[in-house]
């Protein structure tokens, strides 16, 4: 039987805006979600979220009790520097000091992200990652965090999922500023984020803080739905823009010529071009060899078909199965694979896509150092009855992905940990509160926590360092 390595991290992931709530207290400034989700027509907002701001001692107590020995948190930029670029807020520093100390007290290792989708509102209004000044403001924020928390936090992540940020902001349009189908802006913002990431790596290394720094990408495999040439091309194109472009930058030390040519081809079909400023490629190249780890967030893979039409997307934000549309001009169209099950939000459940991605990184980017699977999990409308949640489909989902990870480890990929998205139920950016992922059920009215069946299962996996069958646990 395959077993997880001795020091493997069995973690739980959170992000500031999705978990903390308390958006108006102790001097926190707004991020762009505050404004957007407080519109009248919005179905939900993040004002209270999971109340992690107050409830974190309880969440960490539960984490420790249920075998969670690592946690991903993110630091809300606008809690620490309320307007993004000016004064530091001592109350923000105090909150994260307390949170960090509580994690360490419980023996839970911290993996801290600096940017998890939540640019401060004023910087967002200046253009967010499309504004090159954002890079300097971000570096300043990173420095404040390294100085204040770097003595205790030893694992740092610069940015969470550049592709998801720009796809949400400029292509799908379900993240502010809600622009649709602007592939050029998306590519430009991704490039700028990679420059920012690289400068953060350089900064961290210059501070001799005795820890590690890396980046997290969403990396979903893209497969042609048939062996037709146009379907193969569609898969290749979507893979290039969503995966290869980012991997080339953070691990390869620059965009391969073929990658750049392909990106330029996509942009020319969309009447755009990428601006790379002097010095960008030098810093990207220099940081790539200093990157200590790569975080992979993996939920699904996609099956592609050739597509010649205009871009057309429908985002399923309610869990009404079968409603998604995703077709991009100059790239391709995502289609159903009848052999692959999907979640209610139409995300294909395909653990082989994770295995394939892990092997590909080992083969194509041999200097990757080490990998953490920094997010994986199943969004599900949990049935809550008498304080209990029997979430067998979630357990089955995690089990299949654990299996893929163990196989990749056996085949030589250096994987050091797994973080379940999410530790407890949190806000889902574009879906609200009915798409739950946690080990611990949150009653969002009372903010009470309840232990799901998956938490019992996770505990046993973490303790025994092997994949446990569902019927091995009592619940």
Residues classed as catalytic: 161, 375
468 within 8 A of 457, measured Cβ to Cβ: yes
- What is the smallest separation between the CB atom of 428 and ligand BGP, expressed in angstroms? 3
The DSSP string of 344-371 is TT--B--HHHHHHHHHHHHHH-TT---E
Q: How far apart are CA 388 and CA 212, in angstroms?
A: 39
378 lies in the site for ligand BGP, by CB under 6 A: no
Q: Tokens representing 355?
A: 């295995």
Q: Tokens representing 32?
A: 């762009």
Stretch that binds ligand BGP, among 236-244, 245-253, 398-406, 426-434 (CB under 6 A): 426-434
- What is the smallest separation between the CB atom of 373 and ligand BGP, expressed in angstroms? 13
Q: How far apart are CA 231 and CA 229, in angstroms?
A: 6
Stretch that binds ligand BGP, among 76-84, 181-189, 396-404, 421-429 (CB under 6 A): 421-429
435 lies in the site for ligand BGP, by CB under 6 A: yes
The residue from 23, 262, 431, 462 that contacts ligand BGP (CB under 6 A) is 431
428 lies in the site for ligand BGP, by CB under 6 A: yes
374 lies in the site for ligand BGP, by CB under 6 A: no
Q: How far apart are CA 120 and CA 144, in angstroms?
A: 15
19 lies in the site for ligand BGP, by CB under 6 A: no
The residue from 49, 215, 218, 284 that contacts ligand BGP (CB under 6 A) is 218
CA-to-CA separations, 100 to 71, 93, 103, 229, 319, in angstroms, rounded: 10, 10, 5, 52, 35
DSSP state of 428: B
Judged by CB, which is closer to ligand BGP: 272, or 317? Answer: 317
Sign of the torsion angle spanned by Cα atoms 215, 283, 129, 28: positive
Judged by CB, which is closer to ligand BGP: 115, or 456? Answer: 115
Sequence length of the chain is 475
Count CA atoms within 13 Å of residue 5 on its CB side: 16
379 lies in the site for ligand BGP, by CB under 6 A: yes
Contacts of 200 (CB under 8 A, 6+ apart): 114, 138, 139, 142, 158, 213
Give the residue at shortest CB distance from ligand BGP: 428
Stretch that binds ligand BGP, among 148-156, 202-210, 319-327, 422-430 (CB under 6 A): 422-430
Kindly identify the residues of this chain, within the stretch 277-316, that bind ligand BGP according to CB under 6 A.
297
- What is the smallest separation between the CB atom of 435 and ligand BGP, expressed in angstroms? 5
- What is the smallest separation between the CB atom of 326 and ligand BGP, expressed in angstroms? 14
Smallest Cα–Cα separation from 475: which of 445, 446, 439, 443?
439
Stretch that binds ligand BGP, among 19-27, 279-287, 359-367, 428-436 (CB under 6 A): 428-436
The residue from 34, 51, 161, 231 that contacts ligand BGP (CB under 6 A) is 161
- What is the smallest separation between the CB atom of 368 and ligand BGP, expressed in angstroms? 20
Q: Tokens representing 210?
A: 């005795």
Q: How far apart are CA 9 and CA 281, in angstroms?
A: 34
CA dihedral angle for residue 82, residue 83, residue 86, residue 87, rounded to 10 degrees:
-20
- What is the smallest separation between the CB atom of 219 and ligand BGP, expressed in angstroms? 11
Residues forming a β-bridge with 371: 294, 415
429 lies in the site for ligand BGP, by CB under 6 A: yes
The residue from 23, 134, 160, 198 that contacts ligand BGP (CB under 6 A) is 160
Q: Give contact residues for ligand BGP (rule: CB under 6 A).
A: 15, 18, 160-161, 164, 218, 297, 375, 379, 421, 428-431, 435
């Amino acid at each position: 039987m395959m077993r997880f390595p001795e020091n493997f991290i069995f973690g739980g992931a959170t992000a500031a805006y999705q978990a903390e709530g308390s958006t108006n207290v102790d001097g926190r400034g707004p991020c762009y979600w505050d404004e957007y989700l407080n519109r009248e027509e919005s179905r939900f907002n993040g004002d209270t979220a999971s109340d992690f701001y107050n409830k974190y001692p309880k969440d960490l107590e539960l984490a420790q009790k249920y075998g969670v020995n690592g946690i991903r948190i993110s630091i809300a930029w606008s809690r620490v520097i309320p307007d993004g670029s000016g004064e530091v807020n001592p109350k923000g520093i105090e909150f994260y000091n307390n949170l960090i100390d509580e994690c360490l007290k419980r023996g839970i290792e911290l993996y801290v992200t600096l940017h998890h989708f939540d640019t401060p509102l004023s910087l967002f209004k200046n253009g967010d990652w499309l504004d090159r000044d954002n890079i300097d403001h971000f570096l300043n924020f990173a420095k404040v965090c390294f100085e204040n928390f770097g003595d205790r936090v030893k694992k740092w992540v610069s940015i969470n999922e550049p592709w998801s940020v720009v796809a949400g902001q400029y292509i799908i349009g379900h993240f502010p500023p809600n622009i649709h189908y602007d592939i050029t802006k998306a590519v430009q913002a991704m490039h700028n984020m990679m420059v920012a990431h690289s400068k953060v790596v350089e900064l961290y290394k210059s501070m001799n803080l005795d820890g590690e720094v890396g980046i997290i990408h969403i990396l979903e495999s893209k497969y042609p739905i048939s062996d037709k040439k146009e379907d193969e091309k569609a898969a290749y194109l979507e893979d290039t823009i969503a995966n290869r472009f980012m991997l080339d930058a953070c691990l390869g030390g620059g965009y391969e010529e073929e990658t750049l040519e392909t990106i330029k081809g996509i942009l020319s079909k969309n009447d755009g071009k990428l601006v790379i400023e002097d010095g960008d490629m030098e810093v990207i190249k220099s940081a790539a060899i200093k990157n200590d780890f790569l975080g992979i967030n993996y939920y699904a893979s996609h099956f592609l078909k050739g597509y010649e039409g205009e871009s057309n997307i429908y985002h399923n934000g309610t869990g009404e199965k079968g409603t998604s549309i995703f077709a991009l001009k100059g790239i391709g169209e995502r289609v159903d694979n009848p052999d692959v099950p999907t979640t209610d939000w139409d995300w294909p459940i395909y653990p082989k896509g994770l295995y394939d991605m892990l092997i590909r990184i080992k083969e194509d980017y041999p200097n990757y150092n080490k990998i953490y699977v920094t997010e994986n999990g199943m969004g599900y409308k949990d049935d809550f009855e008498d304080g209990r949640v029997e979430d067998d489909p979630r357990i089955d989902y995690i089990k299949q992905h654990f299996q893929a990870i163990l196989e990749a480890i056996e085949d030589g990929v250096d994987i050091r940990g797994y973080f379940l998205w999410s530790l407890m139920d949190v806000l889902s950016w574009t879906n609200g509160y009915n798409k739950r992922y946690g080990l611990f059920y949150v009653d969002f009215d009372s903010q009470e926590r309840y232990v799901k069946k998956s938490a019992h299962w996770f505990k046993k996996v973490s303790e025994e360092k092997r994949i446990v069958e569902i019927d091995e646990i009592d619940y």
